[in-house]
């Protein structure tokens, strides 16, 4: 892979002197969806698929970007003195946003660079290709310019740039999981305090299978920001009767006792999901520590039901993938993962059932939806690296 990337870099930008190759993973969230901006817990892991980058520092202030995934766009040029988001700049708004955010943090990028990217995360799949690009860019900047910045800070800078440069109100989970990934471990993160611990994922005789719906969606134009604001309003209503900072501060009992303070039945459902999903995530990690993978699977299933009925972010594509997965003998648990409205599901599947799973779920999906889903058996990998 490294040789192919360098070869392409030479072809696009001329030579490879001074060029280095980097990688940042994608991520999948095992449980804890739409909790990261509600002060709750999440349980993501980094994957061995992600974004590769080849970068070289320039002497001038020109930024030249090229993506092997968008060959047809050719080289997109920009300038360090003109870092602002632009529709026509497309994917380059992500690396540009990170460079901009570094500058705001007092780490001025004074020289331009040539940057070639190649991602093997399915596009629009909800496995966090944008966060992968952001963390990768930050990691490259740290290496090229010698900035003193930790991986955790790279995650925060990535989130800041996505919120403020790209206008997507994402939580911290994606960037954190990617920057802090550890092989064969998921990260149990309290998004309210940023306290985290690694939890080993020991799946004896089972695999993590990602099913990609191939329904295209954009985070910014999905109902993501709408859900966020519904939760914020519900939180403000609850705060009149109970002393909490986030929805993640509530137990199920405390929520049930105080939910009448929320003046709209839709907002009650949204808040209920945030509260119950947070509790489910804590229970799921406890189950994993107790080596109770069956209980973990049941909590994954319950998570999907809540995302479908209370949070209403699934849609026919994801529901079909999950409901068909539940029918397959050997599926321990299955749920949508990511923001929803398309994207992917994540399933824990016993080794002997993986092929049946792909076949059965794939057939029903194609018949019902009219186009095929893609299936990926994935491994849990490390955070960003220099190759």
pLDDT at 218: 56
pLDDT average, residue stretch 147-163: 97
Q: Are 97 and 85 in contact (CB under 8 A)?
A: yes
What local confidence, expressed as pLDDT, does residue 261 receive? Answer: 98
Residue-wise pLDDT for 288-331, tens only, equals 999 999 999 999 999 999 999 999 999 999 999 999 999 999 99
Residue 72: DSSP 8-state:
G
* 384 or 222, which is more confident: 384
For residue 101, pLDDT beyond 90 = yes
pLDDT at 285: 96
Q: What is the pLDDT of residues 119-132, one digit of tens each?
A: 998 766 777 789 99
Please name the CATH architecture into which domain 2-28+46-183 falls. 2-Layer Sandwich (3.30)
The residue extents of the domains of the chain are: 2-28+46-183
Average pLDDT of the chain is 94
- Report d(CA 316, CA 261) in Å as an integer: 32
The string of pLDDT tens digits covering residues 74-94 is 999 999 998 988 877 789 999
User: What value does the mean pLDDT take over residues 176-187?
Assistant: 96
CA dihedral 91, 93, 98, 104 (to 10 degrees): 180
Q: Please tell me the predicted confidence (pLDDT) of residue 223.
A: 82
Residue 220 clears pLDDT 60, i.e. is over it: no
Sheet with 20-29, strands from edge to edge, namely 76-79, 62-67, 113-119, 44-57, 20-29, 385-386
Is 221 a residue whose pLDDT tops 70? no
Instruction: With cut-offs at 50, 70 and 90, classify the pLDDT of residue 222.
Output: low
pLDDT at 54 over 80: yes
Phi, psi torsion values for 47, nearest 5 degrees: -110, 170
List residues with catalytic annotation: 174
pLDDT for 189 equals: 96
For range 219-241, the mean pLDDT? 87
pLDDT, tens digit (0-9, with 9 covering 90-100), for 27-51: 999 999 999 999 999 999 999 999 9
CB-count burial class (<10 Å; 0-12, 13-18, 19+) for 226: exposed
Give me the percent of the chain exceeding a pLDDT of 90. 88
């Amino acid at each position: 892979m490294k040789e192919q990337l360098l070869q392409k870099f030479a072809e696009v930008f001329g030579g490879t002197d001074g060029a280095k190759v980097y990688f940042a993973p994608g991520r999948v969230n095992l449980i804890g969806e739409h909790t990261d901006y509600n002060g709750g817990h999440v349980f993501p892991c980094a994957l061995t698929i992600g974004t590769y980058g080849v970068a070289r520092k320039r002497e001038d202030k020109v930024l030249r970007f090229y993506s092997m995934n968008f060959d047809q766009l050719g080289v997109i040029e920009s300038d360090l003195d003109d870092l602002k988001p632009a529709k026509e700049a497309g994917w380059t708004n992500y690396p540009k946003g990170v460079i901009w955010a570094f500058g705001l943090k007092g780490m001025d990028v004074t020289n331009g660079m040539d940057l070639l990217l190649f991602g093997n995360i399915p596009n629009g799949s909800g496995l966090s290709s944008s966060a992968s690009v952001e963390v990768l860019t930050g990691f490259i900047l740290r290496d090229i310019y010698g900035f003193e910045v930790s991986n955790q800070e790279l995650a925060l800078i990535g989130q800041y740039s996505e919120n403020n440069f790209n206008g997507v109100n994402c939580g911290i989970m994606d960037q954190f999981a990617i920057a802090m990934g550890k092989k064969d471990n998921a990260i149990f993160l309290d998004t309210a305090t940023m306290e985290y611990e690694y939890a080993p994922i020991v799946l004896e005789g089972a695999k993590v299978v990602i099913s990609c719906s191939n329904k295209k969606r954009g985070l910014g134009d999905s109902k993501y920001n709408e859900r966020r604001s519904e939760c914020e309003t519900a939180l403000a209503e609850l705060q009149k009767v109970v002393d909490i900072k986030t929805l993640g501060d509530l137990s199920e009992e405390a929520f049930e006792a105080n939910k009448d303070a929320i003046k709209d039945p839709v907002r009650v459902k949204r808040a209920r999901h945030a509260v119950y999903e947070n509790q489910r995530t804590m229970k799921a990690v406890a189950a994993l520590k107790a080596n109770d993978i069956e209980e973990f699977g049941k909590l994954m299933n319950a998570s999907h039901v809540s995302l479908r009925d209370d949070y209403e972010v699934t849609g026919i594509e994801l529901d079909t993938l999950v409901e068909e997965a539940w029918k397959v003998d050997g599926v321990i648990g299955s749920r949508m993962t990511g923001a929803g409205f398309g994207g992917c599901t994540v399933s824990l599947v016993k080794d002997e059932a993986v092929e049946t799973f792909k076949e059965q779920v794939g057939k029903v999906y194609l018949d019902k939806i009219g186009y095929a889903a893609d299936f990926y058996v994935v491994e849990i990998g490390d955070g960003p690296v220099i190759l």
